[in-house]
Amino acid sequence: MRYRTLGKTGLKVSEVGFGAWAIGGNAFGNSYGPTDDTTSLEAVTRAMELGCNFFDTADAYGHGHSEELLGQALKGRRDDVVIATKVGADFYHDPPRMNFNSDYLSFALTKSCERLRTDRVDLYQLHNPPIQLLRSGKIFEGLEKLVDAGKIQCYGISIHDPDEGLLAMKNGRPATIQVVFNMLRQEAKNRLFEAARQNNVAIIAREPLANGFLAGKISDDSSFPPGDIRFNFPRDYFHSLVKAAQKLRFLESKSRTLAQASIRFVLDHSEVSTVIPGAKTRQQTEEDLQASEIPSLTGEELLRIRILRDEGFA
């Protein structure tokens, strides 16, 4: 495993981290399907054995279940790892809502720390906040208080739209920006990556496998249970993802899988501090983390990827 610096934090993190969305389970939907806790714990333990020290979760994943599992798996190893979690999806109150009030951030952090079995969080991230809140900058005041109180080491933001990251850097002092970046979605690559580099803000690349489609194991006939986010994908969109993955199979070889090539593509961008593929099993963890050791994609391969994207993978 290779390590990179997490922007201005100075923290050394494994360039392939562990995305803990999936291990939250399917009890409350917004998931990647059913899980088995014993299998999930094995996946986390195996990640540590292979040198992974960056674990990214959110309180919303399984309404705290992902955090609980990480707290159990990381017991006794707290000082060896960097824990990142997220806040904003208020499932504590009825009806559930988005909540970024300062008092709520402190309340939710206390709950997360209890589940994670820790007295602090290394990286606390706003979870998909509305762009209107980012325009004022007041949303960051509660996070600054938590830094001053020593309850978090630093804060960041998890987003979809690169413009949200630009606003966050303009109106706040995020240490990290977590954003979707993979071979199919590269909107963040130009303006956001460059601005982050100039501000020494770390990029955490999420969804490198495009919700699992770039693992190359989903076909047109695949189906997902209710609660799995892919259950609600429009069929045209679903089929377009399958087709794109099929077009990219030229990246497979005896020495790497499509999933590993997809993660390697992300790592070949120096602005990325860490990439966080999700894993539910020991085998998935091993496959994902091995991407740190394989050679970079060639210029010819990158050109073919760009041509396919320009053609819409038609």
175 in the Ramachandran plot: left (φ > 0), alpha (ψ -120 to 50) or beta?
A: alpha
**Domains (range + CATH), the chain:** 3-310 (3.20.20.100)
Please tell me whether the overall predicted TM-score, pTM, comes out greater than 0.85 for this model.
Answer: yes
pLDDT in tens, the chain (314 residues): 999 999 999 999 999 999 999 999 999 988 999 999 999 999 999 999 999 999 999 999 999 999 999 999 999 999 999 999 999 999 999 898 999 999 999 999 999 999 999 999 999 999 999 999 999 888 999 999 999 999 999 999 999 999 999 999 999 999 999 999 999 999 999 889 999 999 999 999 999 999 999 999 999 999 999 999 999 999 999 999 999 999 999 999 999 999 999 999 999 999 999 999 999 999 999 999 999 999 999 999 999 999 999 998 87
Under 8 Å between Cβ of 245 and 184: no
Residue 313 and residue 62: Cα distance in Å, rounded? Answer: 34
Q: Residue 51, by phi and psi: left (phi above 0), alpha (psi -120 to 50) or beta?
A: left
Q: Burial code of 49-87, b = ≥16 C-beta within 10 A, e = fewer?
A: ebebbbbbbbbbbbbbbbbbbbbebbeeeeeebbbbbbb
- The pLDDT value recorded for residue 190 is 84
Residue 191 is predicted with a pLDDT of 87
